[in-house]
Chains A and B, each alone.
Chain A
Amino acid sequence: MKKLINDPFEVTIQEIEGFVAAFPREVRRVGTQSVARSSAPKAGKVGVIFGGGSGHEPLFMGYLGPGMADACPVGNIFTSPAPGVVLEATLAVSGGAGVIYLYGNYAGDVMNFDMAAEMAAEEGIHVETVLITDDVASAPLEQKSRRRGIAGDFFVLKAAGACAEANGSLEQVRAAAAKANDNTRSMGVALSSCIIPASGRPIFELGADEIEIGLGIHGEPGERRQKLAPADDITDQLVDRILEDSLFRTGDEVAVLVNGLGATPLAELFIVFRRVAARLSQAGMHIHRSYVGEYSTSLEMAGCSVTLLRLDDELRRWINWPASTPYFTQTN
Chain B
Amino acid sequence: MFSHVAARVEAERDRLNTLDGAIGDGDHGVTMTIGFRAVQKSIASLDGTVTIDQIFRTSGRAFLLSAGGAVGPLLGAMFTDTGKAFTDRVTFGAEEVVWMLEIMEQSLMQRGKAQLGNKTMLDALHPAVTAARAAEGEEMAEILRIAAEAAEAGARATSGMISRLGRSSRLGERTRGHEDAGANSIALILRAMQEAVARL
Q: Is B60 an interface residue (CB 8 A)?
A: no
Interface residues of B, count at CB 8 A: 35
Q: Is the CB of B167 within 8 A of A76?
A: no
CB-defined interface of A58-86 with B at 8 Å, one 1/0 digit per residue? 00000000000000000111111111110
The minimal Cβ–Cβ distance linking B95 to chain A, given in whole angstroms, is: 31
On whether A75 and B26 interact (CB within 8 A), knowing A107-B166, A216-B170, A221-B174, the answer reads no
Residues of chain B lying within 8 A (CB to CB) of residue A139: 170
Q: Is B67 an interface residue (CB 8 A)?
A: yes
Interface residues of A, count at CB 8 A: 34
In the assembled complex, the Cα of A84 lies from the Cα of B74 at a distance in Å of 15
On whether A107 and B66 interact (CB within 8 A), knowing A139-B170, A219-B25, the answer reads no
For window 99-150 of A, CB contacts with B under 8 Å fall at 106-108, 111-112, 115, 138-139, 146, 148
Rank and list the top 5 A-B pairs by shortest CB-CB distance, nearest first.
A108-B70, A218-B25, A203-B26, A108-B69, A111-B73
Q: Is A220 an interface residue (CB 8 A)?
A: yes
Residues of chain A lying within 8 A (CB to CB) of residue B29: 199
In the assembled complex, the Cα of A73 lies from the Cα of B189 at a distance in Å of 29
Main secondary structure of the interface of B (DSSP, over half): helix
- Can you pick out 19 interface pairs between chain A and chain B where the beta carbons lie within 8 Å of each other? A76-B34, A76-B68, A78-B27, A79-B30, A80-B68, A81-B68, A83-B65, A108-B72, A111-B74, A112-B72, A138-B170, A196-B17, A201-B17, A201-B21, A203-B25, A203-B26, A204-B26, A216-B170, A221-B22
Q: Is the CB of A221 within 8 A of B67?
A: no
On whether A107 and B68 interact (CB within 8 A), knowing A218-B25, A219-B26, A220-B170, the answer reads no
- Nearest B residue to A110, CB-CB: B70
In the assembled complex, the Cα of A120 lies from the Cα of B174 at a distance in Å of 39
Q: Is B165 an interface residue (CB 8 A)?
A: yes
Residues of chain B lying within 8 A (CB to CB) of residue A216: 25, 167, 170
Q: Is B116 an interface residue (CB 8 A)?
A: no
Residues of chain B lying within 8 A (CB to CB) of residue A111: 70, 72-74, 111
Residues of chain A lying within 8 A (CB to CB) of residue B18: 201
Given contacts A107-B165, A203-B21, A219-B25, 7 further A-B contacts (CB under 8 A): A80-B68, A83-B73, A115-B73, A199-B27, A220-B24, A220-B167, A220-B170
In the assembled complex, the Cα of A108 lies from the Cα of B111 at a distance in Å of 11
Residues of chain B lying within 8 A (CB to CB) of residue A219: 25-26
For window 11-44 of B, CB contacts with A under 8 Å fall at 13-14, 17-18, 21-27, 29-31, 33-34
For window 185-199 of A, CB contacts with B under 8 Å fall at 196, 198-199
Residues of chain A lying within 8 A (CB to CB) of residue B167: 106-107, 216, 218, 220
Residues of chain B lying within 8 A (CB to CB) of residue A115: 73
On whether A198 and B69 interact (CB within 8 A), knowing A111-B111, A204-B21, A220-B170, the answer reads no
For window 64-111 of B, CB contacts with A under 8 Å fall at 64-74, 111
Q: Is the CB of B34 within 8 A of A80?
A: no
Residues of chain B lying within 8 A (CB to CB) of residue A79: 27, 30-31, 67-69
Residues of chain A lying within 8 A (CB to CB) of residue B34: 9, 76
In the assembled complex, the Cα of A216 lies from the Cα of B167 at a distance in Å of 9
- Nearest B residue to A9, CB-CB: B34
The minimal Cβ–Cβ distance linking A296 to chain B, given in whole angstroms, is: 15
Residues of chain A lying within 8 A (CB to CB) of residue B171: 220-221
Q: Is B51 an interface residue (CB 8 A)?
A: no
Q: Is the CB of A80 within 8 A of B17?
A: no
The minimal Cβ–Cβ distance linking B135 to chain A, given in whole angstroms, is: 33
